[in-house]
Amino acid sequence: LVLGYTDPRRAEELLQNRITQTVFSRDLAQALSDTAVRTGIDARVHIKVDTGMGRVGFMSGYDAIKDVAWIRRLPGLVVEGLFTHFATADEDDISYTEQQFEKFMGISREMDRIGLPIPLKHACNSAATMRFPQMHLDMIRPGLILYGMVPPGCPDAWQELRPAMTLKANIVHHKQVPVGTSISYGRHFIAERPSHIITVPIGYADGYSRNLGGKASLLLRGQRAPIIGNICMDTCMADITDISGGQTVETGEEVVLFGRQNYNEQEYVLPVDELANWLGTINYEVTCIIGKRVPRAYIKDGHLENVRNYLI
């Protein structure tokens, strides 16, 4: 199920690959219908209604019912689902979410009444999945919680989720510097004591934001070390002077920029939420902006299953 927009000119590609497409305009619905009739391949769709998010979807109310009914009758379309999206499911005040849900259910009930029922209804994102089980309907759409991260305002029971995503790298350089040594562009960090500095091959071109310089830290041997100076395009530096045994650190050792690190049979965590706070954003964004230069290693039951390297 494609939840977002697909150019109508790619309608035939959708049908040939048996992809279910979200529909939130008559133009796309008509294009899919025309292509389905021409190719003889049914177009499977879910219809999006806007109950208060203000993004995409047929506006809730009488017009939405007319639009949904019109699409429901198009030849070649198999309308499998009807859905909406909550704007404030992670906020303390639940009244707006309840209003959205009632608007959505009103449209669903009206479709049943006029004899054009739609089999699958869904509305819940991660926060709503956890907070409003009565709104689960036929499907849910978990996103953030698949990564073991918890949206704000969610029940304590969900706090036991463990982060599934870890951003790690290996040290490429370790040096001891004297007092007065400056690190990185702009000389924003100047050593006030003899210091041990490491260089890590990850930077803002990889999605590790330049704004984290002088704010963030990393995990090395289960201990935190501050990121110092400006983060470069391809590298960043950290001060490991206060790391126990830091003077023995060697190139090739693992550091964790966020997520979990196992060291000496113990697990240490640097929550992605901390990076989000340092950046003034949300944890979703921090995980989404990691670039394609960073290989993805997939772990199952503690064992490496696969590595996806987009550059090879």
Residue 157 above 70 pLDDT?
no
Output the CATH code of domain 167-308: 2.40.37.10
- Cα(24)–Cα(68) distance, integer angstroms: 9
Q: Can you spell out the DSSP letters for 134-162?
A: GG-TTB----GGGGT---TT--GGGGG--
∠ at Cα 101 (96, 102), nearest 5°? 100
For the chain, domain boundaries: 8-160, 167-308
Given this model, what pLDDT does residue 155 score?
A: 63
Residue 164 above 80 pLDDT?
yes
> Which H or E run contains 225?
strand 223-228
Least confident of 88-97, 149-158, 227-236, 238-247: 149-158
Given this model, what pLDDT does residue 161 score?
A: 84
Given this model, what pLDDT does residue 53 score?
A: 97
pLDDT in tens, 1-48: 999 999 999 999 999 999 999 999 999 999 999 999 999 999 999 999
Given this model, what pLDDT does residue 154 score?
A: 72
Q: Cα dihedral sign for 273, 279, 281, 287?
A: negative
- Cα(158)–Cα(145) distance, integer angstroms: 9
Residue 153 above 80 pLDDT?
no
- Cα(56)–Cα(52) distance, integer angstroms: 10
Superfamily name with CATH number, domain 8-160: Alanine racemase (3.20.20.10)
HSE-CB for 169 with a 13 A CA cutoff: 22
| Percentage above 90 pLDDT, the chain | 90
Q: Which residues neighbour 231 within 8 Å (Cβ) at sequence distance 6 or greater?
A: 184, 203, 204, 208, 209, 210, 212, 213
pLDDT band of 63, cuts 50, 70, 90? confident
pLDDT band of 265, cuts 50, 70, 90? very high
Given this model, what pLDDT does residue 312 score?
A: 87
Residue 168 above 80 pLDDT?
yes
- Cα(233)–Cα(193) distance, integer angstroms: 27
Q: Contact 164/269 with Cβ under 8 angstroms?
A: no
- Cα(50)–Cα(305) distance, integer angstroms: 40
Residue 209: count other Cβ atoms within 10 Å of its Cβ: 19
Given this model, what pLDDT does residue 236 score?
A: 99
Q: Which of 259, 234, 229, 101 is nearest to 167 (CA)?
A: 259
Across residues 91-105, what is the average pLDDT? Answer: 96
Q: Contact 128/144 with Cβ under 8 angstroms?
A: no
